[in-house]
Amino acid sequence: MLVSSPLRSSSRSFARALPGATLAPFPAFIQPCLALPRTEVPTARGLVHELKLDGYRVQAHIRDGRVRLYTRGGFDWTSRFATIVAGMTRLPAGKLVLDGEIICAGQDGRPDFSALQDDLKRGRHDRLVYYAFDLLHLDGFDTRPAPLLERKRVLQSVLAKCRAQRIFYSEHFEDGADLYVRATDMKLEGIVSKMANAPYRSGRCEHWLKVKCWRRDRFVVVGFVPEGSAGILKLRLARREGGALIYAGRVGMGWDHKTAHAIRCALEPLARPMSPLTMPLKKRDTTWVEPRFDAEITYLDVTNNGMVRQPSFKWLFRR
C-alpha cells in the first residue's frame, strides 16, 4: 500500500525543518543506540525519561510502501510481524526509519515478554503493538544528527498524521524518579534516561542510561549444580504454594568464589537422592538437597510457566 503524496510532502517538510538533519540516501540497517546500565535513576540536568518496555527491539524501514523489520542484531523478522507491517504501510512517509519496541500487550495493557515469545511460536499476532521512540530517517533526510527532543517532536507529528493501528508513540517524562516509582508499581521492566539535546549514536553511549525495576524475594533451595570440587554453578529454586514445593528455575550469578564455597559447604550435608519437589524433576547435573535453606534473589519477572527471569543471588538463609 502506498501513501498519498500530500502526506509525503508534509513529512518531508517536517524533516527539512529539523535542526541538524542532512540530505542522505535511504540507509541499510543502522546499528542501534544501546543504553548503559545503571543501578540508580540519573538526576543530571538535560535528561528526559521513557518507560523501558519488555519486548523485542525492532528497527522499522519503510520505503515506498515496502516495510522491513529488523532485530537489534540486524536480522530481518518482517515475516514474523504481519500485523505490525500492515500498520506501518499506513504511515504518511515515503521513506522512514523508526527505532522502537514490539511488545505483547496483556489484558492489563502491560508488556508480557513470555506471552510475546509464545505468540511468535504460535503465529498469533492480535496482541502485538509497536512503540516508536526515535526517528532515524525521514523522506531523504538523515535525522540522527538532530537533538533527541526535536526528533521525537517530528516523530510524534508523523504518527499523528495517520493513526495507524498498532503503531504508537513512546512518551517521555521530565521526572525520572517519579517515573521509576510508577514503573516499579506497575511491574514494568524499568526506565531509560536520555540526553534531550543529544544526536542518535550507534552503540553503547552515555547519552542513554537504563535502570531496571528489580523484584526481590526468597525462594527455597532444592538443589545445586557443582562446579569443580568446591564451587557451585547454579542453585535450583522452588516456591511454596500451600504445602507444595513448585520448581521456579535456577540462579547462576551473584556470588564470588568464597561465597560459592560457603554455599557448597552448607548444602552438601543435606544431599538426597531424589528431588524434594512436589512434581519430580530430572536434572542429571544437579545434586538435590533437603529444603532447609532459602535464597534471597533479585529478578526481573516471572515467566508464564513460573520461572524467574534474570535472577541474581543475594543471600542464603537457613529456614
- Known catalytic residue at 52: yes
What would the grid cell of residue 58 be? 525492532
**Cβ contact 202:99 at 8 Å:** no
CA distance 240 to 18: 57
Cα torsion angle, 124, 127, 130, 131, sign: negative
CA distance 291 to 300: 24
Write the DSSP string, 100-127: EEEEEB-TTS-B-HHHHHHHHHHT--TT
CA distance 284 to 225: 9
CA distance 286 to 233: 10
Cα torsion angle, 43, 32, 303, 267, sign: negative
Residue with cell 504445602: 243
Q: Point out the catalytic residue in the list 52, 194, 212, 234.
A: 52
- Specify the DSSP element, H or E, that contains 86: helix 82-88
Look at residue 116 and give its three-state secondary structure.
Answer: helix
What would the grid cell of residue 112 be? 508480557
111 DSSP assignment = B
Residue with cell 515478554: 113
CA 107 to chain centre: 19
**Cβ contact 96:27 at 8 Å:** no
Residue with cell 508464564: 304
Query: Would you please indicate which residues are annotated as catalytic (active-site) residues?
Result: 52
